[in-house]
């Protein structure tokens, strides 16, 4: 269950192009499965500046708390506010309604440095 049209990080985030030149960010099926039942999500405010590879929030599950890392550098342009009341959507639809945020990227070519679906598949199967 690794969509071919997304790019991935080794920390199990995904990105896809969104409206207005922004990138939509979420966590992968692999990550949500490892976390278990997600009960809380902490995301940065709209307007926050994030740096690639740096923590930008947290996901809390019944098992643990895990950091979410910025896959690219830029400014938070939108947050998925529905996750405040229904964080479990990440478990049921990590690539759709369970998206986390959108980032207006500083350098769109940063996406080229992220993992392809094939490379991410190799990472998760090793």
> Average pLDDT of 70-77?
96
| In the predicted structure, residue 18 carries a pLDDT above the cut 80 | no
Quote the CA–CA distance of 21 and 35 in Å, as a whole number: 30
| In the predicted structure, residue 50 carries a pLDDT above the cut 80 | yes
For 91-109, how does the pLDDT look when each residue is reduced to its tens digit (9 = 90+)? 999 999 999 999 999 888 8
| In the predicted structure, residue 68 carries a pLDDT above the cut 80 | yes
pLDDT of residue 21: 78
Q: How confident is the model at residue 118 (pLDDT cuts 50, 70, 90)?
A: very high
Ramachandran sector of residue 18 (left: φ over 0; alpha: ψ -120 to 50; beta: rest): beta
pLDDT of residue 19: 74
pLDDT of residue 108: 86
Are 18 and 26 in contact by the 8 Å Cβ rule? The answer is no
| CATH code of the region 8-71+95-108 | 2.40.50.100
Q: What pTM value is reported for the model?
A: 0.93
């Amino acid at each position: 269950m690794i969509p071919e049209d997304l790019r991935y990080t080794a920390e199990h985030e995904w990105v896809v192009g969104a409206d207005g030149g922004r990138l939509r960010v979420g966590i992968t099926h692999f990550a949500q499965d490892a976390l278990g039942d997600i009960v809380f999500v902490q995301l940065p405010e709209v307007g926050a500046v994030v740096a690639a590879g740096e923590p930008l929030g947290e996901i809390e599950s019944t098992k643990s708390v895990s950091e979410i890392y910025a896959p690219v550098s830029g400014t938070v342009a939108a947050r998925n506010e529905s996750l405040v009341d229904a964080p479990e959507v990440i478990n049921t639809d990590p690539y759709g309604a369970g998206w986390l945020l959108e980032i207006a990227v500083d350098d769109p070519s940063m996406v080229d440095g992220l993992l392809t679906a094939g490379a991410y598949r190799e990472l998760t199967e090793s």
